[in-house]
Structure 1
Amino acid sequence: MTGTVNNLGDANTTDKLIEHRREIADFKQRIKNRRLQVLGLYGTPVLVVVTILTWAGSKIFLWLDSDAPSAINFIFAGFTLLLIIATAVQMFSEFVAEVWRDCQTSVRNLKLDLSLAEERHILEARRRTPPPLDRQASYKEKLPSEIVRLRRESLRYRRMHLVMQWLLFIGSAAISAITAWYDPPQPAKGALIGLGFMVTVITAAAGYFKPRERAFNLQQTADTIEQHATALELGIAPYNATEEGRNLEQFATTVEGLRAEQRKREQQLDQPQQGQHVI
């Protein structure tokens, strides 16, 4: 009977915490939507004025003594009409029909509601904090998503590195080919300048962002965490203790150490090259 009561209490705790998380996520999405709504509500009329002024300015400075091309007038007139219609629709949705969820609500008030929701979540989580063994078991279940995230970021940096390398190969080869083809290289002077600029920028970006090193570190951390997760799942060393709580505690400590080490490596890569030599 006691076990059933405990299970019901755990279920209620989980549902309550999930409800708070959903409320926080909902407020965050509402803030994003409201920012876009306010941007369109006040930015579209500004665009109307800017478009009309640009239209009038082009008429004064370019076609003062003649008629402007009909295509130019058609483009400006069509764009202005479109912006006016968009302004009217947004004004109607905001002040008349109130079809938006947070009509006439400031982003500041929504941020305040979000802060209160986060505070309620913290207080509820503190009041309903499960025992360490349950938290460690829950931590273990969250790790697959963390491993996927690390590998996804590693793949992104590897692709960035490959794209940079191929651009460097193509740019360097094109510079040599154009230089050898034209003598002097006057017809291709612009191409040479552009390719040289591209090679310089990519070389500097590769040296600054270090995508290859970042990809290697992320992949190494993901593989190591997965190795420890597999060892815990199979009950092999170093997680072959008879007590499950001891294994979970050691596993959580090890994984947090790996994540801290990964963050330190990221910080070292973000430091200037000269600063790294000093260290």
Structure 2
Amino acid sequence: MTVSSHTQSGTLTTDVLIEHRREIADLQQRIRNRRLQVAGLYGTPSAVVAIVVAWAGLKISLWTDSPTPKGVGNTLVGILFLLVVATAAQFAIEFSSSFDLWRDEKTSVRKLKLDLALAEERHILEARRHTPPPADRQASYRERLPGEVFRLRAESRHYRRMHLLMQWLLFFGSASISAVAAWFDPPQPGKGVLIALGFMVTVVTAAAGYFKPRERAFNLQQTADSIEQHATALDLGIAPYNSIEEAKNLEVFATTVEGLRAEQRMREQQLDQPQQGQQQVI
């Protein structure tokens, strides 16, 4: 009976915490939506005014004694019509009671942020009031690790692809510079092509040296492999997780994985520093 009540209490606590997380995620999405709505409410009328002013400036500076070109006039009129319609629709949805399309009309972003802060505070207090024992937290930590490994591998693939793209751009750019220089004897159009290719090679080389995608991909992949190796050792019960006490194995596992993640963050910080700063850190 005691075990059943304990299980029921734990399930209730989990449901409450999940509900708090859902409320926080919902408020975060509502804040993003409301920011877009407010940006539209202020942005479209401002765009209408800016286009009218630009049209008047073009008329005065370019076509004072001549009619505005038909293509330019039709384009500006079409853009103005769309912006005016969008402005009228947004104001109708915001201030009219006949429409119920926006969830938070007439609500400021500041109020939504306050609701989010209160929801996060309630979540923290509820989680602190029902904090599970360390063994349960360590077990749940192990269950969250596959998602962390997947994230590390995904970021590693992203930087690896970025590195490959930069290398191929450098290969083609460097080869094209020589080919264009040999093919075009006159200054033009070979001169313009050479300038563009040289600019591309310089930018890609600088970006590769600054962002270091190859090193980032290697570090992320190495950390993911190490975490996966320790998780497999824990599941198989092999060293260093061959202790008879499961709680001891979980404690060592959590400590080791957190150490690996700390090393990964340190390597990321070193890559973000200038070369001289990296040498001082090392």
Identify whether the pair has TM-score above 0.5, normalized to the shorter chain.
yes
Distance 1:132 1:139 in 2: 10
What TM-score, normalized by structure 2, do the two folds share? 0.97
Alignment partner, residue 197 of structure 1: 199
> One-letter code of the match for 1:64?
T
Query: How big is the alpha-carbon RMSD for the aligned residues of Structure 1 and Structure 2?
Result: 1.0
SS of corresponding position for 2:74: helix
Taking the TM superposition and a 5 Å limit, the aligned residue runs for 1:1-279 are 1-97=1-97, 99=100, 100-279=102-281
Distance 1:203 1:222 in 2: 28
Distance 2:240 2:278 in 1: 34
Q: Does the 8 Å contact 1:48/1:83 carry over to 2?
A: yes
> One-letter code of the match for 2:32?
K
Distance 1:55 1:81 in 2: 14
The Cα offsets for residues 124-178 of structure 1, whole Å up to 9 and x where unpaired, read as 0000000111100000000000000000000000000000000000000000111
> One-letter code of the match for 1:45?
P
Which has the higher mean CA deviation after the structures are superposed, 221-230 or 53-62? 53-62
Q: Does the 8 Å contact 1:136/1:249 carry over to 2?
A: yes
SS of corresponding position for 2:44: helix
Distance 2:29 2:181 in 1: 54
Distance 1:188 1:278 in 2: 45
> CA offset at residue 72 of structure 1?
1.1
> CA offset at residue 182 of structure 1?
2.3
Q: Does the 8 Å contact 1:217/1:262 carry over to 2?
A: yes
> One-letter code of the match for 1:167?
L
Q: Does the 8 Å contact 1:51/1:80 carry over to 2?
A: yes
Which has the higher mean CA deviation after the structures are superposed, 145-154 or 180-189? 180-189
SS of corresponding position for 2:116: helix
Unaligned runs of 5+ residues in structure 2 are: none
> CA offset at residue 278 of structure 1?
3.0
Distance 2:88 2:189 in 1: 53
Q: Does the 8 Å contact 1:175/1:192 carry over to 2?
A: yes
What TM-score, normalized by structure 1, do the two folds share? 0.98
Aligned positions, number = 279
Unaligned runs of 5+ residues in structure 1 are: none
> One-letter code of the match for 2:129?
R
Which has the higher mean CA deviation after the structures are superposed, 98-107 or 131-140? 98-107
> One-letter code of the match for 2:72?
I
Q: Does the 8 Å contact 1:179/1:185 carry over to 2?
A: no
Which has the higher mean CA deviation after the structures are superposed, 35-44 or 173-182? 173-182
SS of corresponding position for 2:80: helix
> CA offset at residue 185 of structure 1?
4.0
Q: Does the 8 Å contact 1:225/1:255 carry over to 2?
A: yes
Percent identity (aligned): 70
> One-letter code of the match for 1:227?
Q
> CA offset at residue 201 of structure 1?
0.8
Distance 1:151 1:278 in 2: 29
> CA offset at residue 59 of structure 1?
1.6
SS of corresponding position for 1:150: helix
> One-letter code of the match for 2:258?
E
Distance 2:273 2:86 in 1: 47
Distance 2:73 2:21 in 1: 53
Which consecutive aligned stretches of 4+ in structure 1 deviate over 2 angstroms post-superposition?
182-187
